[in-house]
């Protein structure tokens, strides 16, 4: 696949040969889902669910609170993300869908990992540096320890494969380091070494206003992103106003090299249409953005419109969403509890 950073698929033989393939990923319930989350994460969660492997998809509320969240917004965003998962094609009967706090084993294993990971490892995390900004002294301890909780999310299920966008690669590497150090420190072969699965045309969807910044739920400019909740007119307007250069589209993918904004729009088109950058260039090479952008908007509306309508419908019945999350959590706990118990045993902790 084009632009693949890490193309190991769950079928590949490899270092985790003794472990049953299992997929885990999570998204924070902050703001609305945006197109980067959808293309870089949720769409691929659905593909992995449909590949027949056991899949767990979490709403990581305990990660969200590493920066202050309005309590009412957090509850709403948790249910909205569950609705977004389901509306995008995750099936609660096939995948375990739950919010992290409903499985307390996540925080228990995270404490053990706080004692395994080294300060120096966490000091290197770029997401902490970005989020803490200049005033590091004022960042929460949770924000610093965030990657240890993320490692616990993953390793609590003996996860072998973690589908994420490119920005999460460093965190998965830390989870791998923790698994290896735990195994070495205690002379066991207990945790698998999880593989990031970062593939497809849209592992890093960029802002529509600045081709050097990733599209993000937390960008102050709403024009920088497409939200899954945007209506058709808003989506068309955002693409129409998306920053581009004055040249027409090039004939080949190579011609996109120094044109980040153009490359971003083409990547989005390729990912939305399950196609490749080369195929998109074959169709639109030489055409002006004034022709390409409306087609891109139509494609986005055709894909996202039904998802957002279904999210609205699901949000009418919050009790049903809660029931689904409760059920997903109880199935997840059945896997997590014995793995946590064994982790305590290995460390000599009596429970
Ligand atoms: P977050 O919104 O930070 O909780 O991210 C949830 C998931 O979406 C993670 O797997 C991210 O890597 C992915 N993601 C977030 N923003 C983007 C983006 N702009 N492009 C591709 N993937 C993204
Ligand atoms: N840190 C991830 C993000 O910001 C979210 C996350 C938390 C996650 N735990 C995870 C992703 C475990 C994959 C696996 O996007």
Residues 323 and 304 in one domain: no
Q: Mean pLDDT per 10-residue run, the chain (351 residues)? A: 41 72 97 93 95 95 98 98 98 98 98 98 95 93 98 98 95 98 98 94 93 93 96 96 95 92 96 94 95 97 96 97 98 98 98 90
pLDDT on residue 251 = 93
Residues 246 and 285 in one domain: yes
Residues 107 and 44 in one domain: yes
pLDDT on residue 8 = 45
Separation between Cα atoms, residue 41 and residue 198, nearest integer Å: 9
The ligand 1 atom nearest the CA atom of 166: 12
Separation between Cα atoms, residue 276 and residue 278, nearest integer Å: 5
In a domain, 3, yes or no: no
Residues 172 and 239 in one domain: no
Ligand 2 centre distance from Cα of residue 344 (Å): 24
Task: Note the ligand closest to the C-alpha atom of 166.
Answer: 1
pLDDT on residue 21 = 95
Residues 68 and 150 in one domain: yes
Measured at the CA of 209, the angle between CA 203 and CA 213, to 5 degrees, comes to 45
Question: Does the CB atom of residue 267 touch ligand 1 within 6 A?
Answer: no
CATH number of residue 106's parent domain = 3.40.50.620
Residues 111 and 231 in one domain: no
Question: Does the CB atom of residue 64 touch ligand 1 within 6 A?
Answer: no
Residues 254 and 329 in one domain: no
Task: Note the ligand closest to the C-alpha atom of 201.
Answer: 1
Separation between Cα atoms, residue 264 and residue 280, nearest integer Å: 12
In a domain, 2, yes or no: no
Separation between Cα atoms, residue 100 and residue 81, nearest integer Å: 13
In a domain, 1, yes or no: no
pLDDT on residue 200 = 81
- Catalytic annotation, residues: 131, 214, 217
Question: Does the CB atom of residue 217 touch ligand 1 within 6 A?
Answer: yes
pLDDT on residue 138 = 95
For 283, the domain range is 222-314
In a domain, 212, yes or no: no
| Inter-residue contact 329 to 260 (CB < 8 Å) | no
pTM above 0.85, yes or no: yes
Ligand 1 centre distance from Cα of residue 349 (Å): 36
| Protein residues whose CB sits closer than 6 Å to any atom of ligand 2 | 24-28, 60, 63, 150, 153-154, 162, 164, 168, 171
CATH number of residue 231's parent domain = 1.10.240.10
Q: Which of 254, 232, 167 is nearest to 205 (CA)?
A: 167
Separation between Cα atoms, residue 84 and residue 42, nearest integer Å: 9
Residues 296 and 321 in one domain: no
In a domain, 293, yes or no: yes
Within 10 angstroms of residue 248's Cβ, the number of other Cβ atoms is 17
Residues 296 and 174 in one domain: no
Residues 297 and 173 in one domain: no
pLDDT on residue 14 = 59
Ligand 2 centre distance from Cα of residue 294 (Å): 33
Burial of 215 (0-12, 13-18, 19+ CB in 10 A): buried
Ligand 2 centre distance from Cα of residue 13 (Å): 25
In a domain, 227, yes or no: yes
Question: Does the CB atom of residue 214 touch ligand 1 within 6 A?
Answer: yes
């Amino acid at each position: 696949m084009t632009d693949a950073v890490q193309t190991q698929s769950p079928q590949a033989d490899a270092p985790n040969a003794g472990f049953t393939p299992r997929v885990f990923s999570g998204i924070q319930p902050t703001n609305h889902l945006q197109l980067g989350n959808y293309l870089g994460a949720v769409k691929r969660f659905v593909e992995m669910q449909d590949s027949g492997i056991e899949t767990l998809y979490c709403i990581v509320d305990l990660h969200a609170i590493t920066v202050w969240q309005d309590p009412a917004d957090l509850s709403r965003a948790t249910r909205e993300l569950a609705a977004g998962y389901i509306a995008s094609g995750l099936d609660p009967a096939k995948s375990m869908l739950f919010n992290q706090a409903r499985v307390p084993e996540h925080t228990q294993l995270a404490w053990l990992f706080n004692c395994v990971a080294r300060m120096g490892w966490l000091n290197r995390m770029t997401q902490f540096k970005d989020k803490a900004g200049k005033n590091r002294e004022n960042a929460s301890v949770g924000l610093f320890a965030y990657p240890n909780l993320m490692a616990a999310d993953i390793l609590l299920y003996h996860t072998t494969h973690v589908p994420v966008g490119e920005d999460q690669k460093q965190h998965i590497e830390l989870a791998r380091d923790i698994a290896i150090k735990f195994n070495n420190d205690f002379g066991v072969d207990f945790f698998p070494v999880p593989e990031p699965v970062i593939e497809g045309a849209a592992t890093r969807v960029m802002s529509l206003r600045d081709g050097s910044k990733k599209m993000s739920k937390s960008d102050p400019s709403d024009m920088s992103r497409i939200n899954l909740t945007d209506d058709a007119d808003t989506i068309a307007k955002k693409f129409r106003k998306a920053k581009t250069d004055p040249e027409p589209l090039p004939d080949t993918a190579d011609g996109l090299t120094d044109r980040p904004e153009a490359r971003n729009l083409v990547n989005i088109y390729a990912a939305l249409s399950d196609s490749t950058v080369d195929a998109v260039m074959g169709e639109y090479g030489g055409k002006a953005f004034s022709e390409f952008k409306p087609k891109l908007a139509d494609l986005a509306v055709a894909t996202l419109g039904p998802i957002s309508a279904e999210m609205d419908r699901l949000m009418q019945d919050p009790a049903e969403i809660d029931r689904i999350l409760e059920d997903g959590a109880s199935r997840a706990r059945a896997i997590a509890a014995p793995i946590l118990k064994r982790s305590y045993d290995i460390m000599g902790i009596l429970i």
